[in-house]
Amino acid sequence: MERNVLEFIREHKIIAIVRGIPSAQIVQLVQAMVDGGVRCVEVTFDQSSEEKRQDTLKSISTIRETFGDQVSVGAGTVMTVEQVHQAREAGAEYIISPNVNEAVIRETKALGMVSIPGAYTPTETAAAYEYGADIVKLFPAGILGPAYIKALKAPLKHIPLTAVGGVSPENCASFIEAGCIGVGCGGNLVSAKLVNEGRFDEITKTAEAYMKALQG
């Protein structure tokens, strides 16, 4: 499973970051993104309450049950080993974290899942990879910029990177050109306002814009 998931992410390049969207709206949202060409979806843990953490897990399981192999779904903002296990049981194929947590990375790999921790510096990036990360998420990419990523890749070209934070249809291709294997897109693609207003066609159009930009 692991190799296929990695290949899937590399092939499709965009991971849509779903944050703060109730599970009741998840099918319509994911369908809108699939219609626009997006195939990788990260549902982030809402750490504010146990009820919201459980709703995250419900969204993950709903995506797996509804879309099957059409979509690769992962869990985001995973902060503990317990949440790694919960996400796996819900059907997550990869684990994304905002930080470099050795225990989370090692447990993710022990369970046969893809590990994508978040880093900011060369030291954090190298440490994450040493702990077993498959891909390292550079955040916030919009502030760091493609030039930073290009400089980072010079000594660390063996480490696969994704760019997250401030990635838009206008700049996403520049991060790939700088050496990233993919990008993570949150509010610019997955707008809670559009979801709440039922404007899923606009989400599809934005997804299409990202895909068009990455396909050149």
Active-site positions read 42, 137
Long-range contacts of 59-66 (CB under 8 A, 24+ apart): 59/18, 59/21, 59/22, 59/23, 59/26, 60/87, 60/90, 60/91, 60/92, 61/90, 61/91, 62/23, 62/26, 62/27, 63/26, 63/27, 63/30, 63/91, 64/90, 64/91, 65/91, 66/27, 66/30
Q: How far apart are CA 159 and CA 166, in angstroms?
A: 21
